Amino acid sequence: MVQKLIIYPDDRVNCTSTDVRSFNQTLWDVIEDMSDTMKANNIEAMAAMQIAYPYNIILIKEGDSYHEYINPRIIQNSETFDSEESSIYYPDVTVTVPRYGKIKLVYEDRNAKVHYQDIDDPKLAATLQRKIDYTFGGNLLDRVDKNKREKIIEALAGKGLMPLVDDVCPTFSPKDYFVSFTDKLLVVMGLSLFTPLFNFEKETVETIYTIDKFLFPTVVALMITYFFYAQYEAKKYQQCSSCQVGNNIGVIVKRSVAAFAFAVGAYFLVNPY
């Protein structure tokens, strides 16, 4: 089935792809969607993330067939050269970036068989490197210097490719303030566990423990607020990707567990009673 291509400024390409572990019909369906989309758009090479599948899969057109690279990794490289490249993610953008003209690749096929391939063709080597960048959450402009990248982004904005309404997940969100403040509170909670190492007066220990008891519910409240604001953003920005939603959950779980661990530690180590 033909899928919609991810085009700038949709930032889902910034998600790191996961390696394929189940070589079954689901994998084959993804590969079929990739090849169908490539045919429909006359594309020579594609990473799965370019149609919003966060899997480490690359397809390269070879004649009338498609070479499937699953979980590819470059294990050797040599002979750097300047490669002139374009990307469907950045329409009408062509840049020159450094690439390796020779690479050795290890990858799997759709049946989980491991292959090693020496690639001496600079064009194919550069194409694979560009697609592998996508699997690691990168893209073409990550390879150019900051000034050139900013000029290209400005040019794309002039073509109307920058979001003019709030329909794409922002790279910065007000909810990040909740995370920053929570992290500072967790640092304070962590430092309080070192109280037994110092010969503080009982009143000082009581004050530290009281503060620690106050910080735990504060962290929980911040994470609850973070959760509801994240839910609001997910509804507001229709193109929020699964990886961003997953990141939100990870933020909440990690910090809540840390706060609980610090609170338990304070009860046993700092509690003056």
Dig out the tokens for 71 from the structure. 């979980």
Residue with more model confidence, 137 or 165: 137
* Residues facing 115 on adjacent strands: 107
pLDDT at 10: 86
Angle value at C-alpha 232, between 228 and 235, nearest 5 degrees: 140
* Cα Rg of the chain (Å, integer): 24
pLDDT attached to residue 244: 60
Fold of 11-158: Peptide Deformylase (3.90.45)
Q: What are 83's two structure tokens? A: 């490669």
pLDDT value of residue 201: 87
Give the model's confidence band at 163: pLDDT under 50 very low, under 70 low, under 90 confident, else very high.
very low
- Could you give the angle at the alpha carbon of 272 between the alpha carbons of 270 and 273, nearest 5°? 130
Three-state secondary-structure class, residue 60: strand
Give residue 74's pLDDT. Answer: 96
Placement of tokens 């919003």 in the chain? 52
Residue 244 main-chain phi, psi, to 5 deg: -70, -40
pLDDT tens string 99-123: 999 999 999 999 999 999 999 999 9
pLDDT digits (tens, 9 = 90+) for 219-242: 999 999 988 888 777 666 544 555
Cβ pair 122, 135 in contact under 8 A: no
Locus of tokens 């300047």: 82
The owner of tokens 């690691």 is 136
Higher pLDDT, 239 or 143: 143
